[in-house]
Amino acid sequence: MKKLFSQAELEAIAGALGDTDAGLKGAEIEMLIARCEMSDPGPITKRVRIYNAFAESQNRSGDRTRVLGFIRNAMKPARYVREPDRFEPMRTNLNFALAFAGLVVTEAGEIEAVTVATTLPEAQRRANELRRDLETRGVHADVLAFCRAELVADDYFHAVQEAVKSVAAKMRVKTGLTDDGSTLVDRAL
């Protein structure tokens, strides 16, 4: 029997690719659906449009070949030369979804087989490469210590918030002050 994505996997993959902030744009979705010879359900929400195209294609063909083709085309790094900051967030979201299907998109945009994730924390650990990327870039250890949980959960807003808290904590340690906020900054500096 040919391998298929489950409904939940298709929903997660479509959600990652159609994410409002980090996903594909409407025109990109239209072009990719056409390139992969899928039926286009038309201009509806991005994730629903992608999901419907994926589900119809997989049901019609009895395999996931066109869905994988869509992912390969969407994740070609060359597509993001003008907007390189879009690639990694989308790849991270997509890898979180693909972990449950035993797949991963590499930095080169290739799809590779991996062991199937069975829990959310396991999938998050695999998909979340931000922490390692930050370490590679030499981010200060204090920042990583204060925002560890937020990075694992891919919650970038809270990660930044926790990183800001680390600055205040470091100021308190160095000065011996117990203040917070602008009072701490005014007294310390």
pLDDT tens column, 108-126: 999 999 888 888 887 777 6
User: What's the pLDDT score for residue 152?
Assistant: 46
| pTM exceeding the 0.75 threshold for the entire prediction | no
Nearest to 38 by CA among 65, 17, 19: 65
Task: Count CB neighbours of 158 within 10 A.
Answer: 14
Which region among 4-18, 22-36, 67-81, 140-154 has the lowest average model confidence (pLDDT)?
A: 140-154
Which residue type occupies 26? G
Runs of H (alpha helix) within 75-140: 87-98, 120-127, 130-136
Bridge partners, 189 (sequence order): none
Query: Can you point out the beta strands (E) in 87-166?
Result: 103-105, 111-113
